[in-house]
């Protein structure tokens, strides 16, 4: 891209954002790094419409980063439940603690400083620095990779870190001299609303005149990423045991280990096969609930549920578990499919 086109690209994105971009999202029109950071973390892998409610609830409960730092991880996970990718919630909590304990409750004011915090990668750090501190620094999240990959007809395979570094360099070259915050928002808006993955709306796109991918005829060829995730399949059995008593029902929950899928969340006791699940409640009358299919990044999870009501507790049944009153279940960080199962049963 020539020097003139580089200058035009930045100005075009800025002008388009001013007239046609998004301006009313609750995390816009603020320079508070706590709010911007919270939205950036929630928006990784998650749609705006899903994030809106979670964002408001987090801010109502923890208005400042120091409030979030003072919460327990269990409280944060419970509030996060349903947003998925729970490592983000753990990093969120870790980051809030680091800001409170190492930085006196203030986020560092540069992308380089922000990047030292847990869970804040290069692109998120750049977005916070551009929006809150006006730093002239490039972002390169998934949407922006797509827009720039197409505009530049960038043929490098982004599965390789060398190619990704080259795209970072190009992203930095394209930065306008001024209005970096609006430019950053404009790139995000273009990726979210115009340059979609499968059917980019090139006729409406402000950078169409300088988009090499579109001029070549098939912009969806870009960006190139060859590595395919090999998806697996897993199957497990949940045992939903509900203890009936005068005080109402109580459900047996187990906490997942601190690492791995659904780390730290609470679920029904889980077994590798049906026989093991049945053996855990010998003689119990077990009803079979409809199976659940849950897609995670690396595998599809088929979850079967066997349900029983008990009036007493047999030895060993509660090993490693906790009885939780039904009305208190919402206080626990439950994975989304379990939350739905309980709500619907
Ligand atoms: Fe994307 Fe089309 Fe715009 Fe190029 S012209 S950036 S492919 S929407």
Q: What is the pLDDT of residues 233-267, one digit of tens each?
A: 999 999 999 988 766 789 999 999 888 889 889 99
Tell how far the Cα of 286 is from the centroid of ligand 1, in angstroms: 56
Q: Check if 147 has its Cβ closer than 6 Å to any atom of ligand 1.
A: yes
Write out pLDDT tens, residues 168-178: 999 999 999 99
Tell how far the Cα of 220 is from the centroid of ligand 1, in angstroms: 9
What was the pLDDT predicted at 321? 84
Average pLDDT over residues 209-236: 89
User: Catalytic residue numbers?
Assistant: 40
Q: Check if 207 has its Cβ closer than 6 Å to any atom of ligand 1.
A: yes
Q: Which residue has the tokens 């190009």?
A: 170
Q: Check if 148 has its Cβ closer than 6 Å to any atom of ligand 1.
A: no
Tell how far the Cα of 206 is from the centroid of ligand 1, in angstroms: 8
**Are 236 and 244 spatial neighbours (Cβ–Cβ below 8 Å)?**
no
**Are 221 and 198 spatial neighbours (Cβ–Cβ below 8 Å)?**
no
Instruction: For residues 238 and 172, give the distance between their C-alpha atoms in angstroms, rounded to a whole number.
Output: 50
Q: How confident is the model at residue 315 (pLDDT cuts 50, 70, 90)?
A: low
More confident residue, 244 or 162: 162
Average pLDDT over residues 296-320: 80
| Tokens (6 digits) for 113 | 């400083």
Report in angstroms the alpha-carbon separations of 173 from 137, 139, 210, 243. Answer: 10, 12, 15, 63
More confident residue, 201 or 322: 201
Q: How confident is the model at residue 87 (pLDDT cuts 50, 70, 90)?
A: confident
Tell how far the Cα of 215 is from the centroid of ligand 1, in angstroms: 9
Mutate to test the pocket of ligand 1, among 21, 207, 210, 221 (most ligand atoms within 8 A of CB): 207
Instruction: For residues 138 and 111, give the distance between their C-alpha atoms in angstroms, rounded to a whole number.
Output: 10
What was the pLDDT predicted at 1? 65
What was the pLDDT predicted at 200? 97
Average pLDDT over residues 303-310: 90
Q: Check if 202 has its Cβ closer than 6 Å to any atom of ligand 1.
A: yes
What was the pLDDT predicted at 278? 87
Closest CA to ligand 1's atom 5: 208
Q: How many other CB atoms are there within 10 angstroms of residue 53's CB atom?
A: 11
């Amino acid at each position: 891209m020539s020097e003139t086109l580089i200058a035009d690209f930045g100005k075009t994105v800025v002008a388009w954002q001013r007239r046609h971009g998004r301006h009313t999202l609750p995390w816009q029109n603020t320079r508070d790094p706590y709010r911007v950071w919270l939205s950036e973390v929630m928006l990784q892998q998650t749609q705006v419409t899903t994030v809106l409610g979670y964002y408001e609830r987090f801010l109502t409960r923890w208005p400042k980063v120091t409030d979030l730092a003072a919460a327990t991880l269990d409280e944060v996970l419970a509030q996060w439940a349903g947003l998925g990718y729970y490592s983000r919630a753990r990093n969120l909590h870790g980051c809030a603690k680091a800001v409170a304990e190492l930085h006196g409750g203030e986020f560092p004011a540069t992308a380089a400083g922000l990047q030292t915090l847990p869970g804040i990668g290069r692109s998120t750090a750049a977005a916070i620095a551009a929006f809150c501190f006006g730093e002239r620094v490039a972002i390169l999240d998934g949407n922006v990779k797509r827009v720039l990959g197409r505009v530049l007809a960038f043929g490098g395979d982004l599965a390789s870190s060398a190619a990704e570094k080259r795209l970072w360099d190009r992203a930095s070259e394209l930065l306008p001299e001024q209005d970096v915050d609006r430019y950053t928002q404009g790139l995000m808006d273009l990726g979210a609303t115009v340059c979609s993955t499968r059917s980019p709306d090139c006729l409406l796109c402000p950078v169409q005149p300088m988009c090499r991918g579109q001029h070549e005829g098939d912009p969806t060829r870009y960006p190139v990423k060859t590595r395919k995730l090999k998806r697996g399949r897993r199957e497990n059995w949940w045992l939903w045991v509900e203890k009936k008593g005068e005080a109402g029902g109580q459900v047996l929950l187990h906490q997942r280990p601190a690492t791995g899928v659904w780390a730290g969340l609470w679920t029904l006791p889980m077994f590798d096969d049906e026989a093991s699940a049945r053996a855990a409640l010998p003689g119990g009358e077990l009803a079979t609930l409809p199976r659940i299919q849950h897609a995670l990044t690396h595998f599809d999870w088929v979850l079967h549920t066997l349900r029983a009501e008990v009036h007493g507790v047999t030895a060993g049944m509660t090993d490693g578990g906790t009885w939780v009153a039904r009305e208190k279940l919402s206080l626990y960080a439950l994975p989304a499919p379990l939350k739905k199962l309980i709500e619907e049963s």
